[in-house]
Chains A and B, each alone.
Chain A
Amino acid sequence: MSNKSLGNPFDAESSLAHTASCVCAVCKSELQSGEGLSDRDRQILMERQISDQESVRHTSSSAATETFGSSEDMMDRVVENAIVRGVFGHNDASRRNFIRLVGGGTLAAALGTMIPMDKVKAAVKDAIGPLEKTKLKVGFVPITCATPIIMAQPMGFYAKYGLDVDVIKTAGWAVARDKSLNGEYDASHMLTPMPLAMSMGAGSTATPYIMPAVENINGQAIVLHNKHKDKRNPKDWKGFKFGVPFDYSMHNFLLRYYVAEHGIDPDKDIQIRVVPPPEMVANLRAGNLDGYLSPDPFNQRAVFEKIGFLHVLTKDIWEGHPCCAFACSEKFSTEMPNTYAALFKAIVDATHYSHKAENRAEIAKAISPKNYLNQPEVVVKQVLTGRYVDGIENKVQDVPDRIDFDPFPWHSMAVWILTQMKRWGYVEGDIDYKGIAERVYVAAETGQVMRNLGYTPPESTYKNYTIMGKEFDYNKPEEYINSFAIKRV
């Protein structure tokens, strides 16, 4: 009758049928009562077995008595089993005959071409575990870096994973940090250096934070006021006032790196001020700033308003640099694991969707309204599609990877950020570079989520970079810091 054993479905010797000697809870229960269970009762017993992580043993075959390493593995088997059983019309004898004939591997490969096993498995696992909380608040600062976090709301990525998320606009990162620390936000859009700084207690009280996903790579620019069109060489920038969005930002570290490579000391020769991104353009117009390294759309907006021009895109400083991130407290991830997992998946899914160039125009339309970025669509579209004007040349530029989206949080990126925090004196003393990187940037989990969604994460979590022609070796952070002429250590 019923075929619900968890034997290997690709093994001709294992039976998927429950036999008289079977000791699984369903069979035992049926044996005791002397009658078949209703479908509902059977379902409840099966689920209980799975959730107890107790391996379901069917004693009819030795191959079926294997134990599973985790409930995930067991679920994988359940899914394979169900599909194979379905293919053979629930006739176990014909399944075993077929496998004897062609081999289990052939069957698995043949099925794999027809049915996306990984996706089915992921879909089934998604359904596991009730969400502890479905109504969430996620903070964002209105910039294009936050695209996946924002567009996941109007374009239904949160809803897809059973979440009802309010994305709340926040005036700047100091407020985003404080609202995250005091628990008003369940998770928030942050800058990649922020969770590192918060976990170390630099600039705030030390609270363990984790960063499950990077949002965007590239996508920033150095903007100068139009009156400086003749000062394209950074050596002429002495006395300039620059805006960056936050102390612990890639913007600050990239601007410092860029000018220092040109022999300008960012603490002595120029002034760097923290200005929330939305206030950048107004300050540039008022002459409070000579330029800024800021997130878009405020770089493009300066061109649109005919106040400034794009001096250099940050992708030309460090191709593929990380920028913004999705972060939450460690507490949230441990207290509400299912909600966290669903949110995490929604974000990674949305990030991959944003990565595809053909979706960018549609996303620009979705996130431009008042409830989200509150910007003219034509500005946001220039940023996301990379078809833009730079305010210098009299033609339209085409740089499709001006901004890109890639969720993988490389540990080597964290190490680089930590070297810069130490280089400029934001942190002092000995730093356990890799230890902090691996604790805050949960790359293994990100990899797992990417795999579940059918994407391929990178093999390793570290790699070396070349930034403006200078090598960065993640194994030698201290030597890297010492190799700079301009530094605060």
Chain B
Amino acid sequence: MSSLAARSALVSVCLLVGLLGLWEALNQPPTASEALTEFEILMGGVDQEARVPPPSQVMSHAWHELSNPFYDAGPNDKGIGIQLAYSLFRVLTGYVSAALVAIPLGFIIGMSPLMHRALNPFIQVLRPISPLAWMPLALFIIKDSEQSAIFVIFICSIWPMLINTAFGVANVRSDWISVAQTHELSQLKTAFLVILPAAAPTILTGMRISIGIAWLVIVAAEMLVGGTGIGYYVWNEWNNLDLNSVIFSILMIGVVGMALDFALGRVEKLVQYKE
């Protein structure tokens, strides 16, 4: 079936080239025929309306940024590589601490119907709260914008992992647990040797959803508190109405998000099993 793969790839490329070509053609800035007068310079040129930059401009800008991704020209001007590293650090810190809380708690909820009923109301109330709504409170209580941002990531990535873990644990086939019991395995051993492998694919699905949400939220959180990170980068370029950089950073956010999802997808495959 290699011909199908080749043909689909060809269609993808044609679509991309066609769309970019259209975008490029529709957004050509008019060329000024003569030198600008002082008035025209102060007015921002002869161009009547601001337009979306054509892809050729975006690509040359992207090349420029990517050729020097780690420059550091002061606290408010750092390269795209440094900004992405800041964001990734925040996301991973918040995400890992969320996993450390959510997975054990999910086990307890999943294994004990009593805890499930007791904790369910809290989860249902807290889960739908937009993570950014926590920001003012977090800033006030934690008194540190860096940790507040990490807390926001923590709070947004905890729910999918918690709920999926609890669901996965609760739905392990009862005859497997019965087998464990007939072998007189302790509670702890049952949890680690039977339930964990059995629930692993569901847990991983939760983790994959969480990392996606965390990456979505970090951009918004950094736009709010500023300083460093890819969200701050977008905000800073938005200030300057520099759409070149905004489009470029959108692409970068997409690429990194895809990489994160891909990584967890691979881990998910490792724990899959067939019954």
| Least CB separation from B226: chain A residue | A171
A94: interface (CB < 8 Å): no
Q: With A305-B44, A374-B240 as known contacts, state yes or no: A168 contacts B76, CB within 8 Å.
A: yes
Q: Do A175 and B226 have beta carbons less than 8 Å apart? A: yes
Q: With A175-B226, A182-B139, A374-B240 as known contacts, state yes or no: A169 contacts B44, CB within 8 Å.
A: no
Q: Do A394 and B139 have beta carbons less than 8 Å apart? A: no
Q: With A184-B145, A304-B43, A388-B42 as known contacts, state yes or no: A282 contacts B139, CB within 8 Å.
A: no
Q: Do B241 and A281 have beta carbons less than 8 Å apart? A: yes
Question: Which of A16-24, A364-372, A427-435 participates in binding chain B?
Answer: A364-372
Beyond A168-B76, A175-B145, 7 additional contacts (C-beta under 8 Å) are A171-B226, A278-B239, A301-B241, A306-B43, A374-B239, A375-B240, A378-B42
Q: With A184-B145, A306-B49, A370-B236 as known contacts, state yes or no: A170 contacts B226, CB within 8 Å.
A: yes
With A and B bound together, what is the CA distance between A482 and B157 in angstroms? 54
A183: interface (CB < 8 Å): yes
B143: interface (CB < 8 Å): yes
B34: interface (CB < 8 Å): no
Q: Do B226 and A394 have beta carbons less than 8 Å apart? A: no
B260: interface (CB < 8 Å): no
Interface string of B226-238 (1 = CB under 8 A from A): 1100000001111
| Cβ contacts A to B, 10 pairs, < 8 Å | A142-B239, A166-B74, A171-B225, A174-B136, A184-B144, A282-B241, A303-B43, A304-B44, A370-B76, A395-B39
Set of chain B residues within 8 Å of A259, measured between Cβ atoms: none
B224: interface (CB < 8 Å): yes
Q: With A182-B143, A372-B76, A389-B42 as known contacts, state yes or no: A306 contacts B48, CB within 8 Å.
A: yes
Contact of B238 among A183, A282, A304, A369 (CB under 8 A): A282
Q: Do A305 and B241 have beta carbons less than 8 Å apart? A: yes
A132: interface (CB < 8 Å): no
Q: Do A175 and B144 have beta carbons less than 8 Å apart? A: no
Q: B77, B226, B239 — which one has the most chain A CB atoms within 10 A of its CB?
A: B239
B223: interface (CB < 8 Å): yes
Q: With A278-B239, A303-B43 as known contacts, state yes or no: A370 contacts B50, CB within 8 Å.
A: no
Set of chain B residues within 8 Å of A375, measured between Cβ atoms: 239-240
Q: Do B73 and A306 have beta carbons less than 8 Å apart? A: no
Q: Do A396 and B226 have beta carbons less than 8 Å apart? A: no
Q: Do B39 and A394 have beta carbons less than 8 Å apart? A: yes
Q: How far is the CB of A176 from chain B (nearest CB, A)?
A: 10
With A and B bound together, what is the CA distance between A170 and B222 in angstroms? 11
B121: interface (CB < 8 Å): no
B38: interface (CB < 8 Å): yes
Set of chain B residues within 8 Å of A378, measured between Cβ atoms: 41-42, 44
Q: B75, B224, B235 — which one has the most chain A CB atoms within 10 A of its CB?
A: B75
Q: With A167-B75, A182-B143, A395-B39 as known contacts, state yes or no: A306 contacts B44, CB within 8 Å.
A: yes
With A and B bound together, what is the CA distance between A278 and B226 in angstroms? 13
A179: interface (CB < 8 Å): yes
Set of chain B residues within 8 Å of A281, measured between Cβ atoms: 241
With A and B bound together, what is the CA distance between A295 and B240 in angstroms? 15
Q: How far is the CB of A267 from chain B (nearest CB, A)?
A: 24
